[in-house]
């Protein structure tokens, strides 16, 4: 087994110099670093990460706290793209990722406590923002490096990366209004998530600005699953007066909306128009292609990882909340309202 002493002897330097090269010490010259690393590669030496972490008190590992059971999470292409952004940046910076999941709020708190108090990771990324989230309180209590993807609810001292979700929903709703729709419904997500709250607020504001009514039966809450969109259509399309346009909180939910409408004998966009969010790759391949708000999902993840590593490295961060811009991609699912069936 190759040791630091073997590397030092082959390189003609002291063992302490090799240790400093392994830990990326700034006082070691570039030439010496390159020489030592070349010999390490040639001799097949791999640093003992556990021993190194005991000395440096770092693990070079970040934790991602998954917001719901993994089997549900990975049905949503949005989170796959989000994770791709996180992993791209963290890998470039030399960090490994640990995925943490729980089945209940108590399990979540216990998992975070193990990771934080046991110093098993250097920082945590929370993938969703909930109202009155106890995880944020716990992480703040220990002043542990944390980045939230979403808007914090009353926690102003946590780093976060988000979109302007209220404005994004306003733009989506206004697009349908400009197309001539007056009866517009909203298929929302779980009410305890701030993204659901913010997008609902944007929808309501756009309707109010256009002096259009917001009717309770045209708003349906659910999960970020196809089944939620499917069930929403079973309810909405049975109403005496149905909406002619829909704002849907997520593309995957939008797929369920399309399936539900198709089975009920309704056509998009001839009978009802549709705009959703996230602009996942499959949105363009749907029948018809779905108009969707591109929220820069990859950039959300990349920026969150970048911000967390800067916090771990104790760099100065002058903006605690980063906003990723959005844009509406108009496709065939939303057209001008002409001769809509009531």
Sheet with strand 146-149: strands edge to edge: 96-100, 61-65, 123-126, 146-149, 159-162, 321-323
pLDDT at 128: 82
pTM over 0.75, yes/no: yes
pLDDT at 50: 46
End-to-end CA distance of the chain: 77
Query: Per-10-residue mean pLDDT for the chain, 342 residues long?
Result: 86 87 77 90 72 60 80 74 94 91 78 82 90 83 91 79 97 97 96 94 98 96 93 95 96 97 96 96 94 97 96 87 96 71 42
Cβ burial of 161 (10 Å; 0-12, 13-18, 19+) is buried
pLDDT at 110: 85
Q: How far is CA 296 from the centre of its chain?
A: 10
In 94-140, beta strands by DSSP E = 96-100, 123-126
What six digits make up the tokens of 179?
């197309």
**Phi–psi pair at 64, nearest 5 degrees:** -110, 120
What six digits make up the tokens of 191?
């009410």
E strand or H helix that includes residue 112: helix 105-117
Question: What domains does the chain contain, in order, with CATH numbers?
Answer: 4-56 (1.10.260.40), 61-163+297-325 (3.40.50.2300), 165-294 (3.40.50.2300)
pLDDT at 340: 46
């Amino acid at each position: 087994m190759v040791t630091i002493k073997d590397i030092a002897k082959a390189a003609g330097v002291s063992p302490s110099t090799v240790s400093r090269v392994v830990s990326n010490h700034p006082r070691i010259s570039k030439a010496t670093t390159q020489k030592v690393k070349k010999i390490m590669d040639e001799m097949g030496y791999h640093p003992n990460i556990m021993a190194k972490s005991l000395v440096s008190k770092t693990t070079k590992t970040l934790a991602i706290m998954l917001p719901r059971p993994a089997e549900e999470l990975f049905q949503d292409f949005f989170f796959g793209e989000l994770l791709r952004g996180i992993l791209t940046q963290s890998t470039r910076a030399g960090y490994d990722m640990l995925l943490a999941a729980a089945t209940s709020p108590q399990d979540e708190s216990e998992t975070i406590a193990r990771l934080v108090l046991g110093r098993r990771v250097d920082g945590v990324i929370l993938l969703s923002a909930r109202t009155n989230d106890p995880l944020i309180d716990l992480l703040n209590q220990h002043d542990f490096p944390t980045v939230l993807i979403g808007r914090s609810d009353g926690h102003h001292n946590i780093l976060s990366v988000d979109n302007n979700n209220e404005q994004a929903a306003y733009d989506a709703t206004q697009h349908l209004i400009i197309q001539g729709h007056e009866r517009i419904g909203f298929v929302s997500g779980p009410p305890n998530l701030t993204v659901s709250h913010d997008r609902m607020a944007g929808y309501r504001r756009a309707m109010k600005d256009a002096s259009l009514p917001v009717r309770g039966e045209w708003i349906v809450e659910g999960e970020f699953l196809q089944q939620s969109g499917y069930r929403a259509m079973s309810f909405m399309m049975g109403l005496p007066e149905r909406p002619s346009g829909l704002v849907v909180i997520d593309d995957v939910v939008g797929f369920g909306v399309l399936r539900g409408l198709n089975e009920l004998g309704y056509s998009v966009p001839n009978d009802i128009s549709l705009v959703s969010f996230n602009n996942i790759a499959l949105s363009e391949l749907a029948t018809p292609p779905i108009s969707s708000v591109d929220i820069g999902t990859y950039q959300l993840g990349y920026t969150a990882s970048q911000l967390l590593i800067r916090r771990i490295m104790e760099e100065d961060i002058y903006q605690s909340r980063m906003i990723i811009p959005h844009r509406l991609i108009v496709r065939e699912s939303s057209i001008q309202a002409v001769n809509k069936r009531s």
